[in-house]
Amino acid sequence: MSFRDAIGRVVSHPTINEFQTRLLGRSRLEAHLNPVAARTFADAPVGTVVDIGGGTARSRAMWPAEWTYYSIDPDARVLEVEATDKHIERLVGDAAALPLPDNSADVVLMQCVSHHLDESTWPVSLVEANRVLKPGGSFIFLDGVWRKRRWFSRVFWKLDAGHYPRTSDQLETAIAKQFQVVETDRFNVVHHSILLTARPFS
């Protein structure tokens, strides 16, 4: 294992990751994300949400207990950390090959994950998100973006276990190939961040 991989294994540990996301303004991210999530279940007492790279499944708390929530993450260490008492279906799996059938999700969430996905995995993950979404379902995407002029953000990217931060243009262009974007929110926390809601093309 290379030195970089060894450091990555430490900083990606779920407990350290929880601490890091707090530093990166987790509560402010959630203040933007929660209302977007709430709109997806406003008229749907039951449904299925798939959280790609769900990590400690902290996002489970956003959906009603009656909704089925899948967290799909390749890192089995997340099983050590329970973030909520609501039911979680945990699957060890990869964004590039979601272990779920076609048209099975009302919502697919990808929160703070794209910067972990390399150049081959990232576009495939969007194809997979599209595949598992039902027609009319919602894809919710949130991540920090790479900005050359935002120096303190660049420092945090250097310390991150994810080595593939992308510009806003790169992220939005890739998403627009798979989905129709219906809502965009941009805001600064430590990183400049984008929050998109999108739907499969009808």
Helices (H), 42-167: 121-132, 151-159
Q: Report the residue from 19, 46, 74, 99 that binds ligand SAM according to the rule CB under 6 A.
A: 74
Nearer to ligand SAM by Cβ, of 95 and 126: the residue is 95
* Site track for ligand SAM across 111-140, x = CB under 6 A: xxx--xx---x-------------------
Q: Counting Cβ atoms within 10 Å, is residue 187 exposed (0-12), middle (13-18) or buried (19+)? A: middle
C-beta of 85: minimal distance to ligand SAM in Å?
17
Contact with ligand SAM (CB under 6 A) among 8, 30, 32, 75: 75
Q: Do the beta carbons of residue 112 and residue 164 sit within 8 Å?
A: no
C-beta of 180 vs 188, nearer to ligand SAM: 188
Report the distance separating Cα 166 and Cα 149, nearest Å: 14
The two tokens of residue 130 are 């599209």
Helix, coil or strand: residue 12: coil
Q: Which of 28, 84, 89, 94 binds ligand SAM (CB under 6 A)?
A: 94
Contact between 77 and 17 under an 8 Å Cβ cutoff? The reply is no
Instruction: Pick the closer one to ligand SAM by CB: 121 or 168.
Output: 121
**Residue closer to ligand SAM (CB basis): 48 or 59:** 59
* Closer CB to ligand SAM, 9 or 180, in the complex: 9
Q: Which residues contact 46 (CB under 8 A, 6 or more apart)?
A: 66, 67, 68
Among 20, 96, 103, 5, CA closest to 58 = 20
Residue 107 found at the interface with ligand SAM (CB under 6 A): no
Positions touching ligand SAM (CB under 6 A) are: 17, 21, 52-55, 58-59, 73-75, 78, 94-95, 111-113, 116-117, 121
